[in-house]
Structure 1
């Protein structure tokens, strides 16, 4: 990075909307929530304070419901979600965010600040939502 150029952090490019869902919800309910909220992922709520966060993304519905030939009304989110979820610190330089997401093989991750989920960052937001390119 050249001298004098501002470091862009995860919190500078994240999508501020975080949508939560209970792991006991059905995949049909979750898909309806994603449509109504116009989001690409849902953060699965913790069951208790010591629990880990989960995440469900579009690919989870494809793999766990459609490809598996299962009924959306009978598949619960806890069956198809990823848990624990990889989170990104709000102050992380986006160069490292890109590396983390790429090497982990994921497209998006929740952004955490002071123990709270403040948004979601995706590979496409790194490219499309800032002045890197």
Structure 2
């Protein structure tokens, strides 16, 4: 599942010159926790003002929201998301950046994604990426063995097939924050050391 599958396309925006009081009113009226701050021109960056900015920088200090402008408390440039990004990576980026929401941009503003969207609209609870990766690794490993049996263990097709398995193993290990002692291709080539040597020699000769 990608960001574009669960993002909110009806984005509420505000000008940077608007008062914080207007921003707070707009948030209450629209039932949102963040507003995207409009650009001044096509080369300008988008900004974002969140409920936490209002509470933490204005209300917490007893400041008058009618005297404070959005540009004084907004984040600009802000963290943005690509619509084709996997939801898991978007979740990681938001939480690591301590953000509730981020605009979705690809040349232009397409939507906004929040951690609430990820929980409520995503499928990661029912279909965690971890289980999908395990299944994909098993399927690709079986396919790689068939390719190598058909094309030969020292063939380019065989190496490419195992490279795909290695990539998924690395992704799974990254999600778990663990180290891999061996990837699938290394275990495979332990049974075909001559093929591994040939591949290393070809790589060295090609520079």
Q: State TM-score, norm by structure 2.
A: 0.58
Q: Deviations over 1:44-71 (max 9, x none)?
A: 1112222211100000000121112110
Moved more, 27-36 or 70-79: 27-36
Moved more, 54-63 or 120-129: 120-129
The answer for unaligned runs of 5 or more in structure 1 is 1-7
Q: Does 1:116 find its partner at 2:108?
A: yes
Q: State TM-score, norm by structure 1.
A: 0.88
Which of 70, 75, 83 is 1:77 aligned to?
Answer: 70
State the secondary structure of the residue aligned to 1:56. strand
Tell me if the contact between 2:6 and 2:118 (Cα under 8 Å) persists in the aligned partners.
yes
In structure 2, what is the Cα distance between the partners aligned to 1:107 and 1:26?
22
Give structure 1 regions of 4+ aligned residues with deviation exceeding 4 angstroms: none
Which of 76, 88, 93 is 2:81 aligned to?
Answer: 88
Q: Does 1:131 find its partner at 2:123?
A: yes
State the secondary structure of the residue aligned to 2:111. strand
In structure 2, what is the Cα distance between the partners aligned to 1:24 and 1:130?
35
Report how many aligned residue pairs link the two structures.
125
The answer for unaligned runs of 5 or more in structure 2 is 126-207
Where is the strand percentage greater, Structure 1 or Structure 2?
1
Question: What's the C-alpha RMSD, in Å, of the aligned pairs?
Answer: 1.2
